[in-house]
Amino acid sequence: MPERKHTPLSHAELQRVLSYSPDVGVWRRRVPCGGNKVGDVAGRVDPDGRTRIKINGRTYSAYRLAWFYMTGEWPPNQVDHKDGDPSNDRWDNLRLATQSQNKCNGPRQRNNKSGYKGVSFKMDMGKWRAAIKANGKYHHLGYFCSPSLAHLKYRLAAVKYHGEFRRAV
């Protein structure tokens, strides 16, 4: 049996089935769907905090739908939440980003033991190391006596390397 081709969601169909409030980032049903009535909030929140909305049997991320709804075009790459909160789909909180820029705006890694983004402890030296990744390369920023000093150096480098996409925590 040949694979079924997916027909992309049109802008007109999106506007027919859902309404989007850009000031609050909430989607509402314009037509009944399953157990949902007209006016009900659309979608479900995943454990990662992102809202997913099912339209015509296909699931979409609410922030990508917001971009499509507001501009009439699907985002060419990724959509970043400026404040780092994946549940905040307000229009003024969304911006286009590359994967690298989106990662710059992410929180520190879960396995980070220093408590500071861009800082790790160099056991053999007994010092705190600051480093930042930009354009696919790691940049060593130096060794410091305290994690807070190393983090200060990281924050300064984040301004240089990550610009508006920097997130220091």
Encode pLDDT of 24-36 as tens digits. 999 999 999 888 8
The CATH number of the domain covering residues in 108-165: 3.30.730.10
The CATH number of the domain covering residues in 11-97: 3.90.75.20
Q: What is the pLDDT of residue 168?
A: 58
Q: Record the pTM.
A: 0.73
Is residue 116 within 8 Å of residue 154, measured between CB atoms? yes
pLDDT class of 61 with cuts at 50, 70, 90: very high
Q: What is the pLDDT of residue 108?
A: 66
DSSP string, 68-137: HHHHSS--SSEEEETTS-TT---GGGEEEE-HHHHHHTSPPPTT-SSSSTTEEEETTTTEEEEEEEETTE
Q: What is the pLDDT of residue 81?
A: 92
In sequence order, the 6+-apart residues with CB closer than 8 A to the CB of 68 are 9, 11, 14, 74, 75
Q: What is the pLDDT of residue 116?
A: 84
Task: Tell me the average pLDDT across 91-106.
Answer: 81
User: Does residue 19 register a pLDDT over 80?
Assistant: yes
Residue 52: φ, ψ to 5°: -115, 140
Q: What is the pLDDT of residue 17?
A: 96
Of 60, 55, 66, the residue nearest 89 (C-alpha): 66
Average pLDDT, the chain: 87
Of 93, 154, 105, 156, the residue nearest 129 (C-alpha): 154
Domain boundaries, the chain: 11-97, 108-165
d(CA 55, CA 44): 12
Q: What is the pLDDT of residue 133?
A: 84
The listed range with the strongest mean pLDDT (51-55, 77-81, 136-140, 164-168) is: 51-55
pLDDT class of 41 with cuts at 50, 70, 90: very high
